[in-house]
Amino acid sequence: MSAPDPALARVTGTRFRHVLNVGSGPAHPGKLHAAFHTPLWREVRLDVEPKVQPDILSSMVDMRASVPDASFDAVWSSHNLEHLSAHEVPLALAEFARVLTPDGFALVTCPDVEEVARFILERGIEEVAYPSAAGPVTPIDMLWGHRASIEAGYGFMAHRTGFTLSSLARQVLDSGFAEVRLSRSRFALWALCLKPGCRLESLSADFARTEQAELLGAEAGGEPSAAPS
């Protein structure tokens, strides 16, 4: 993603917004969610693997040495949480909340274990569910990590935990977010995690033309939003 033009910010009076792409992997514009593909979003890549040359070399479980409190407007986490051990997930989510500004948000996606289970019952555990750039993906790949990548030496691709819609929502709310808005697409869960000062109307322009625009609706993706009781 190219850097925003400073002159544009001066003319519009709008400051740059910064998104922390956790577990980013190698730099590639297509890995950043479409909501952040506007001139005023600036991506900062964080990864634990030095070979991908991240802007910040760190584990998402503990970013305190590298990322100050309230330093990002958004966090983007695409298929990262399932690579953590179960006890590390609350630590990572709490870190997402910590590094966000009071009006910030996190957008998280991960495999939908319930949908994978339904596919297994209907089609079998080794049937191809969908093609991907890395090759065919089966339920085994979605539950335990992409086998071809792991065989090629990328052991960090293994999956160590999993989520249902309700379990993901619960862990988000227990980690310092004020509200989580939920949806699901085929084999994937989506969670829009809001800090107390985040207002949905402020996100409408960014999400309007994306598949996750439904997260801003009153009934996000047919699933109720959740907030602490």
> Please, what are the averages of pLDDT over each run of 10 residues along the chain (229 residues)?
40 77 90 94 95 95 97 97 97 98 98 97 96 89 92 88 97 97 95 97 94 79 53
> Hey, how many other C-beta atoms are within 10 angstroms of the C-beta on 58?
18
What is the model's pTM? Answer: 0.88
The amino acid at residue 202 is: S
30: helix, strand or coil: helix
Domain definitions of the chain by residue range: 6-111+163-222, 113-161
Residues in the chain: 229
- What are the DSSP E strand ranges found in the chain? 17-22, 41-47, 56-57, 72-78, 100-111, 179-185, 188-194
In sequence order, which residues have a C-beta less than 8 Å from that of residue 95 and are 6 or more positions away?
Answer: 60, 61, 62, 63, 64, 67
Whether domain 6-111+163-222 has CATH 3.40.50.10320: the reply is no
